[in-house]
Structure 1
């Protein structure tokens, strides 16, 4: 049951990521268009029972499985997952060959409550689904733009070869899928561009070889892994560096990348903890932001990193400017590694001489951490405030003072 919840949550995460990308383009609303839906005890029981009945152990481990849901059942599942992952509500209407989805999500963008209101019309096509029209905060945006934002997510599902057929009809949805071993890893691997996958898988193999030879009682350092992966020479230095960054981002987050076209269950050793400045979380922030930069852009990496910290301040581990430093250092590193062939080759030469964390990650002494939302707002206001801007300027100055970035600027 836990695996199925993860799969459904992963699918919803794709939708949330799409919504976040669209939200970058327009203003948010101060109130939701779709009120938050509070499920009744009976509805929660139904959602729990449905997930239990459709868990992997209750279905064949191989072959094609089929699911059919009425419009009401699909809406209940969607809102049940939203209860777990976010604050908001959603309304789903199923037509013949099309689906209309309206959703309102509360986002932790500042101390003023903000809602992302989205309305999408999706239609069937050869690649499962296509966005025909989209509105955000009541403003229409080009369907082609929304489709571009969705292509990578939908392409991941297609390349993972999990969903076989998807049929929409009036008031119902019919889905056939192949439950495969390591399904979530295959789905996650689908986000790696198909033409880059062989290089990323090769980088992952080298990572596991390094980890296997590393003394068990010694923590693996991010600098050591970056030095080893980036030292590899190739015809295309930018592509090689991109592959190294994507493979390492998955590794430090405890993820394994698998070839979606392979149905086998080859056993792979689980990734070992990787430290940056003696902390595992900093290596995760650094590499995740680097991967987002090579696959997207700096603005999206900055926004997602900041959203995560604000979410932490509102009941999680607390807002951390040390984490923000790792985010921004990762973005800077990725730009250096992939912006030009000359820069990529220069970084590879330095890697062959051996990188240290002093080269690319500043000290984090004196940076506020563990801040509650209240203390963050009290001390820094919002990202438009002068106090916050001064702190970010201080962080960026620390990053630019690193030898690796001083050399690249010279």
Structure 2
């Protein structure tokens, strides 16, 4: 029996090693270039597509040309650092590929698929995972399985039906349905709560409603108060007092509950889906706009970046913030703003440091000093830069000057009182 188990184990082990080398390679990933117009065009394509799906008046006609696909591939490649996405549309089919690092192995993996019109039905003809061929039947099954597990019914089946109607004409890909019902895209409920994907029943912020009610009371008590720092300081102090009274809750930090309440109240009420999917949006009190450094847009940058960090990662939040600024740098936009970028990074730092802050010092702050503790001075940071100015003055979004100013912003954030005390305490403990 033991001999049979050992043979089985080593057989599986050897097969796993062989599979690893079959699907991966030592090939270097060549980065794609990105310009502001890519971000602008991608945003326009996505918003127009979603609007037409939702309000189609019985007729859907989505048309994608090569420049639009190139823009989407460039943005996707930038949003996932180290990865590269490519796509080609011609009269014969659509070729899509993705190339990404394979964890920390030093190797990369490439996935490529060919989409064709077969028997008057658009579908995935075949795919390739590294050197391993993937039959079209399996690839199409994976597409159906993914859609049904990501998109809530009935939109999943509607999208699959629309996808099958794809046509290739004059080197453009179109999806036309002349008898379409509105397609409202909603995620499956489990996806609003990433923790649920780990098969637990724990919400990201189970007690968020308590803090939302606290914020609502503060808003009613101080109707002219709009400073985000005022509301943040009050709810964090409340969280600190509650944690002192109830030190047995080691599952979810009370500070995360308070932070999510701020994000939902003054960022976007729809974030309640991620904070606690059991709470419907109509239960969230309505709040007026909040200000950070005297500006509403900076409060939004701060809160949205904090939310994306809490849902996903600091890296993704950083990339999304950069993409937003690159879009603003396009012709007709408000211009690239390092001030906005600093607010993004400050929000990420706030979300990252929630558990390690010196919360015992919170009562020592007032609204003015607390704002100075969560966002650096911004007055000397450039704003309103066109893409050409960004390129000439800083070498573009990947230039030496850009990276240097980014490092300067991060150094300012690391020196903020709320984080500096944390770092000092950590150093003393070493």
Q: TM-score, normalised by structure 2?
A: 0.56
Residues 322 and 368, structure 1, Cα contact 8 Å, conserved in 2: yes
| Partner SS, residue 331 of structure 1 | helix
Q: Aligned Cα RMSD in Å?
A: 4.9
| Partner SS, residue 107 of structure 1 | helix
- Structure 1 residues 161-310: aligned runs within 5 Å: 163=154, 166=157, 168=160, 171=164, 190-191=192-193, 193=195, 195-196=202-203, 198-215=206-223, 218-231=224-237, 232=239, 233-234=242-243, 235-236=249-250, 239-256=253-270, 257=272, 266=282, 268-310=284-326
**Number of the residue aligned with 2:118:** none
Instruction: Tell me: CA distance 1:178–1:389, structure 2 relative to 1, closer, same or farther (3 Å).
Output: closer
**Number of the residue aligned with 2:419:** 405
Q: Which digits, 9 at most, give the CA deviation of each residue in 1:64-101, with x for residues without a partner?
A: xxxxx9xxx5xx33x4xx79xx96149xxxxxxxxxxx
- Structure 1 residues 373-384: aligned runs within 5 Å: 373-384=387-398
Give the drift of 1:261.
Answer: 5.5
| Partner SS, residue 234 of structure 2 | helix
| Partner SS, residue 253 of structure 2 | helix
**Number of the residue aligned with 2:350:** 333
Q: Which digits, 9 at most, give the CA deviation of each residue in 1:143-190, with x for residues without a partner?
A: 9xxxxxxx99987755xxx648737469369999998xxx97998993
Give the drift of 1:373.
Answer: 0.8
CA distance in structure 1 between the aligned counterparts of 2:68 and 2:307, rounded to whole angstroms: 29
CA distance in structure 2 between the aligned counterparts of 1:184 and 1:239, rounded to whole angstroms: 29
CA distance in structure 2 between the aligned counterparts of 1:268 and 1:250, rounded to whole angstroms: 8
CA distance in structure 2 between the aligned counterparts of 1:267 and 1:115, rounded to whole angstroms: 42
Q: Which runs of 4+ in 1 moved over 6 A?
A: 47-50, 136-139, 151-156, 173-179, 183-189
- Structure 1 residues 360-399: aligned runs within 5 Å: 360-399=374-413
Task: Note the residue ranges of structure 2 that are not aligned, 5 or more in a row.
Answer: 1-27, 35-40, 43-47, 88-95, 99-109, 115-126, 135-144, 166-176, 197-201, 244-248, 425-430
Task: Note the residue ranges of structure 1 that are not aligned, 5 or more in a row.
Answer: 1-24, 38-43, 55-68, 91-102, 122-132, 144-150
**Number of the residue aligned with 2:20:** none
CA distance in structure 2 between the aligned counterparts of 1:296 and 1:209, rounded to whole angstroms: 31
Residues 252 and 274, structure 1, Cα contact 8 Å, conserved in 2: yes
**Number of the residue aligned with 2:362:** 351
**Number of the residue aligned with 1:8:** none
CA distance in structure 2 between the aligned counterparts of 1:214 and 1:155, rounded to whole angstroms: 45
| Partner SS, residue 275 of structure 1 | coil
Number of aligned positions between the proteins: 302
CA distance in structure 2 between the aligned counterparts of 1:276 and 1:334, rounded to whole angstroms: 16
Q: TM-score, normalised by structure 1?
A: 0.58
